[in-house]
A and B are shown apart, each in its own frame.
Chain A
């Protein structure tokens, strides 16, 4: 069974801090994704990666960056956290580049910026 693990379930940070959210998958998947989830807006794609050191902007990349140094790990970075980045963050992975592969999700990190 695919396992996507996010390092923290809950996180509280201060405005202006640099924040790292970590995600690890154990299925050797090529594709990894970061979403944020807000009530009434569904999931919005921040960044995704289809290979090590490769990254592509999603729909809302502003204020975020990502790092993928190893295939199993995909990090989301908030360079200077702001209160409007308070949200639930979900990481996902999927195998190969075929579009019909479903994504597998972690349990999410609920991030609060004070």
Chain B
């Protein structure tokens, strides 16, 4: 069975500082990886995804994640965060043979302080 581990439950950071949210997944023959973001009182929104090809994927709001097969990691980074990035972030994986079932990590609460 797939498993996803987010290594930090909470990450506090000051505005304009860089941030990294860590995610490790269990190895699989083929795997698709996702980062979702959940703002307060809302559902999850897809932030970015890795399916194949370039190991570095980017979102429209400045986040990026790098697929590292040797370390089975998919860490999320942003060079300069804003107050509006305060949210909970979920890493998720999906095996190649499932009916689209996602396995989620435990979530990381990112709090950006002024």
Contact = CB atoms under 8 A, between A and B. Distances in A.
Contact of B42 (A98, A99, A108): A108
Interface in B78-114: 90, 94-102, 104-107
A5 to B, nearest CB: 10
Interface in B11-47: 32, 34, 36, 41-46
B43 A103 contact: no
Contacts of A102: 34, 46, 49
B30 to A, nearest CB: 8
B56 interface: no
Output the residue of B6, B44, B95, B97 with the most chain A CB within 10 A.
B44
B51 interface: yes
Nearest to B52: A100
Interface in A40-97: 40-45, 48, 50, 56, 58, 90, 92, 94, 97
B107 A42 contact: yes
Contacts of B68: none
A105 B32 contact: no
A18 B79 CA distance: 49
B102 A31 contact: no
Contacts of B9: 40
Given A40-B106, A41-B106, A43-B90, A99 B97 contact: yes
25 contacts: A31-B99, A33-B101, A33-B102, A41-B106, A42-B107, A43-B90, A43-B104, A45-B101, A48-B99, A48-B101, A58-B101, A90-B43, A97-B99, A99-B94, A99-B95, A99-B96, A99-B97, A100-B32, A100-B94, A102-B34, A105-B36, A107-B42, A107-B43, A108-B42, A108-B43
Interface of A: 4, 31, 33, 35, 40-45, 48, 50, 56, 58, 90, 92, 94, 97-108
The 5 tightest CB contacts between A and B, nearest first, are: A105-B43, A43-B104, A105-B44, A42-B106, A42-B104
Interface of B: 6, 9, 32, 34, 36, 41-46, 49, 51, 90, 94-102, 104-107
